[in-house]
Structure 1
Amino acid sequence: MVKEDEILPKYWYNIIPDLPKPLPPPRDPQGAYFSRIDLLRSILPKEVLRQQFTIERYIKIPEEVRDRYLSIGRPTPLFRAKRLEEYLKTPARIYFKYEGATPTGSHKINTAIPQAYFAKEEGIEHVVTETGAGQWGTAVALAASMYNMKSTIFMVKVSYEQKPMRRSIMQLYGANVYASPTNLTEYGRKILETNPQHPGSLGIAMSEAIEYALKNEFRYLVGSVLDVVLLHQSVIGQETITQLDLLGEDADILIGCVGGGSNFGGFTYPFIGNKKGKRYIAVSSAEIPKFSKGEYKYDFPDSAGLLPLVKMITLGKDYVPPPIYAGGLRYHGVAPTLSLLTKEGIVEWREYNEREIFEAAKIFIENQGIVPAPESAHAIRAVVDEAIEARKNNERKVIVFNLSGHGLLDLSNYESMMKRLNGNG
């Protein structure tokens, strides 16, 4: 019997040294009156900043962090979706890594814990962040409470209104939660003056969180896109490799959804770096068409342009996503490492619309019993398509996907989807 702490890795994996070409470095805009790179030193915990710019392939996970990982349910389970296979009549074997098994219901806790730990080690007493659908905010609220710190969360307004239960959980963990854009920051007030009913966006909430942290000398915790986040999330993929090895399986296709890229990168990068797997499919929303319509260029990760420019696939920092059913995918860009891997053809991409992902979610719910987050349902749609393709070609492929979070706090979104798709909304 393999023990849990033998499956949980002792090191985080960093894909930077294994990329097919050097990653374009972050930079300040021309003629800038302040350095965005220097600003990072004022808002990020020192060790988080160091890990953001490291080129080390492996970074040791502090024992305190490993203990916290074990306490919140790592390693998370790897399940075989046998009933889904039977329903689809496919010869493919389908497995899913279930990150919804954590207390916060998603993968986000994997980076919230170490970032909060490093902040606490530095003597920080208050952390700030933004959240879209609420998974990241929930993770930060819990991680902060673990280390007896206060937390403030700027939640995208449309999600704040759509998902009151997410808001309640953050508050139960002790967080202050505000609907972004707010009147608490100069940038938020500027947005509200232009449009008092602005639905908000992840880029705007990010800018507000950074401004608020700077103004109050708090520390900012980052939830996606930056390299350090994908580094911490690599526990997902490393665990999956070990779990598949124990089952005697080799993955052919690895699939995950993409908002900014954290769960997809954390899941697939250890496979890519170890040359395990043959295909990697990143799945996003057709309503936020960054893969199909975005440009690969230098852009700001946040809407106010407070963070350094990074080269990524982007719809532009001023792009305001529509208030769709999957708040976690409402982001204008793609993590720089994932953008590069996509442009190099190592990672494939798909975009699905609301009807397509709802149909896939329904199939999964009825056969496996788990309600997936709407974001994760995008990955399930690609799994269904690949399994059907395997059936047509009679191929016994192994398809593995990351079910990045459960959807039990997204039932209002599913309800609104049912009304719209049935013509009643």
Structure 2
Amino acid sequence: MTVELPTSWRSALPHLSEPMPPDLTPETAAGNGVGVNLPMELVRQSVLEREFWKIPEPVLDAYRQFRPTPLWRATGFERAIGARVPVYVKYEGGNISGSHKLNTALAQAYYYKQAGVKELVTGTGAGQWGTALAAACALFGLRCRVFMVDSSLRRKPYRGVLMRMLGAEIHSSPSGLTSVADRRGEGIGNSLALAIGEAVEYASTHDGVAFCIGSGETYSILHQSVIGIEAQGQLAELDGQVDMVVGAVGAGSNFGGIALPFHAEARSTGTRPPTLVAAESSTAPKLTRGVYAYDKTDATGSGPLEAMYTIGSDYPIPDAHSAGLRFHGAAKIISAMRHTGDVAATAVTQQEALDAGRLLTRNECVLPAPESGHALAAAAKLATSGADGMRAEQGVLVCVSGHGYLDLAAYEQLLNDELGDEAPSEQALLRAVSGLTPAGTGAPAPLLAGGPR
């Protein structure tokens, strides 16, 4: 293919149906905020309604090592699922991190380096983000520290080895190094919110150290727009037509990266966008069973409260191979678009996700991460019988956000018929979201049995 690497990121902020609800400040949210110092360029990328942002040349140089990434029509996968329409796969696993996370890690490391920061610290679930940040810090000469969800680190010890190879220092979360870990409740050890909270606290108490996040922030979703921009050009080269665009959602960077450029293009040209389908884990179903309300983004509760679809930041998310999807809330820009009907959603069990991953492996010789399996499972439904009242009539584009070579323990459980799924009960969700302040006009009560499609 002749599609070239994009030289600008594309923002969806100018094309929202309604403005995003403002954050509640640390003072009104928690009373005693922990400062998170962002480089001004990342602040601007989060709030300005500028559509195109030039990618800095050092970041472009790093992108050129692995971008553009492949897109192909997955005819073998189509035959395996009995697809009625073409299924196109955009693959983001061909870099050192094994996932799309490197797109924003490189950008953020560059901006923090320019701002004089010496060390970046973060929380990670399955480890792709931690690996991506470790790689970006290595390239830009920064120290790196990662708090990784304990259950994920135990399942994926080689993620920790890879991060250490890249020069990062790794801590299992809960780590015992922070007060937020000491205050954790039952089940919170499986939570990405806790790992992020530990990183926030650590950064706030050490000089020259900054907290860095890779998924839910508006600027990180902007950096991921290279995925969708490339995909648009690659589909055009293949004469491919799609009316569904699918990505897995933890907080939303992978989904936003593949989907929001299609929304921006349609709004700017006055055409109808494809249906943007967020595939989430049934163990953390914020978009399908959550509420649109103000909630914490991490376990410290010290930062601004954001308007998000959430199942409650204190909900003890069950242990599962959804890994990076095990986050209580969706990014505020994704949530705002869900609230206005510009984003649809469906929930997928880990059995369905890993079954879909096995089909892609057998029929396309690509091993996807379990997170990506959720998107593949949703795409398979949309291309066949449909899901949640949606069915593709032209074609489906699905983002395979990363490879699964360090997730083989999950696939081993699949092969050994040892998987189980634990969806939240209505009572547990009610308890977790009680007391949250509704966001947006006409914000709904808890959805519980299912949300708007």
Question: TM-score higher than 0.5 here?
Answer: yes
Which residue matches 1:319?
A: 315
Tell whether 2:232 aligns with 1:241: yes
Judge conservation of contact 1:12–1:235 (CA < 8 Å) in 2. Answer: yes
Match of 1:130 among 123, 126, 150: 123
Kindly provide the amino acid, as one letter, of the partner of residue 360 in structure 2: F
Q: Does 1:175 align with 2:168?
A: yes
In structure 2, the gaps of 5 or more residues are 267-271, 421-453
Preserved contact between residue 133 and residue 328 of structure 1 (Cα < 8 Å)? yes
- In 2, the alpha carbon distance for the partners of 1:335 and 1:211 equals 21
Shift of 1:122: 1.9
* 1:7 and 1:243 in contact (8 A); partners too: no
Q: Does 1:19 align with 2:16?
A: yes
Answer whether contact 1:45 1:219 (CA < 8 A) is retained. no
How much has 1:341 moved relative to structure 2? Answer: 1.3
The 3-state SS of whatever aligns with 2:245 is strand
**Residue 399, structure 1, aligned to residue 396, structure 2:** yes
One-letter amino acid matched to 2:159 = R
Separation in 1, partners of 2:354, 2:175: 32
State the Cα deviation string for residues 29-53 of structure 1 (Å, max 9, x = none): 53743456xx23x3x3332233222
Distance 2:29 2:330 in 1: 25
- Conservation of the 8 A alpha-carbon contact between 2:29 and 2:303: no
Cα deviations by residue, 1:166-209 (Å, 9 ceiling, x for unpaired): 11111110100000111211212333xx66x8634111111110
2:361 maps to 365
Matched, 1:302 2:298: yes
Residue type of the alignment partner of 1:280: L
| 3-state SS of paired residue (1:389) | coil
Q: Secondary structure at the match of 1:30?
A: helix
Q: Does 2:279 match 1:283? A: yes
Match of 1:45 in 2: 39
Letter in 2 for 1:50: R
Partner residue in 2 for 1:119: 112
TM-score (norm 2): 0.86
Q: CA deviation at 1:402?
A: 0.3
Which is further off, 117-126 or 88-97?
A: 88-97
* Aligned mate of 1:101, from 75, 90, 94: 94
- CA separation of 1:394 and 1:207: change in aligned 2, threshold 3 A: closer
Q: Which amino acid aligns with 2:210?
A: R
Aligned equivalents of 1:149 and 1:261: distance in 2?
Answer: 26
Distance 1:402 1:31 in 2: 35
Cα separation, partners in 2 of 1:164 and 1:422, compared to 1, 3 Å: closer
Match of 1:408?
405
In structure 1, distance between residues paired with 2:150 and 2:289: 25
Work out whether 1:9 is the aligned partner of 2:6.
yes
Give the deviation of 1:399 after TM superposition. Answer: 1.1
- Find the aligned partners of 1:202 and 1:15 in 2 and give their Cα distance: 26
Equivalence for 1:206: 196
Q: 1:245 deviation in Å? A: 1.6
1:179-258 maps to which residues of 2 (within 5 A)? 179-191=172-184, 199-217=189-207, 218-258=209-249
**Is this contact kept in 2: 1:45–1:118, CA < 8 A?**
yes
Overall identity of the aligned pairs, in %: 38
Structure with a larger share of its residues in helix: 1
- Residue 292 of structure 1 deviates from its aligned partner by 2.7
**Offset at residue 416 of structure 1 (A):** 2.4
C-alpha deviations, 1:42-97, integer Å up to 9, x for none?
A: 3x3332233222221111111111111002x1110111101112233434111110
What is the total number of aligned residue pairs between the two structures? 410
1:380 corresponds, among 361, 376, 379, to: 376
Cross-structure match for 2:63: 69
